Amino acid sequence: MKRNKILLLIAFTGLFYFAGCIEKPKSDKKTTTEEPSSKNYTEIGSNYAKSTQKELGKNLMAAIQKEGTLGALEFCNVQAYPLTDSMAVVHHAKIKRVSDKPRNPFNQANDEELGYIEAFKNMIATGDTVEPIINDENGQLYFYSPITTNPMCLQCHGKPEEQIQPATMAKLQELYPADEAVGYTDNELRGIWAITFDKEQ
């Protein structure tokens, strides 16, 4: 039972990696190929994403231990946004997780974010390595990094009746009537982190 709970935690939180290089989608922003100063802003953006994911994972584990697997779905539905917002306050940044196939409609990527999603997808499809993208516009830094699926993610984002159990699917349909975030396979782009913060921090 404990092992199943841990596996479900991984499925919910997902794993994401940062590696390689990627061509910037069409945009008016300036993409930084080198750090704009002595500060490593790509590392700062990555740390913001990782610390936010860690906070979500920590609270999700507590929900699983207290309420079980279906209770964890309730947790994601109610608490994911407030926790993400709280980490944005901590980091003095705007932090979003967005997707072209959102579970929650509020996570729908905008047109510019969709361009980055498509670029990351192309890199993954061709086997190229992928690294975060950071753009500089008038003292604001715009950071994007991929969130990819792994086998554990597919318990909630895979194919219904194959990877997703009926009870889980029923709860997902109850909580997210407009859910688009199913049908994924392993190592597929689930979405991206989109983080905005000031250059001089």
* Pick from 45-54, 86-95, 110-119, 147-156: least confident: 147-156
What's at 185, amino acid-wise? T
Separation of alpha carbons 115 and 26, rounded Å: 7
Per-residue pLDDT band for 201 (boundaries 50, 70, 90) equals low
| Whether 16 contacts 99, CB under 8 Å | no
Mean pLDDT of 17-43: 48
Spell out the residues 6+ positions from residue 189 whose beta carbon is closer than 8 angstroms to its own. Answer: 117, 120, 121, 124, 146, 147, 148, 149
Mean pLDDT of 122-150: 92
Whether 3 has a pLDDT exceeding 60, the answer reads no
Whether 111 has a pLDDT exceeding 50, the answer reads yes
Separation of alpha carbons 126 and 115, rounded Å: 17
Name the strands in the sheet holding 30-31, side by side, starting at the edge strand that comes first in the sequence.
30-31, 133-137, 140-148, 189-198, 94-98
Per-chain mean pLDDT for the chain:
82
pLDDT of residue 200: 78
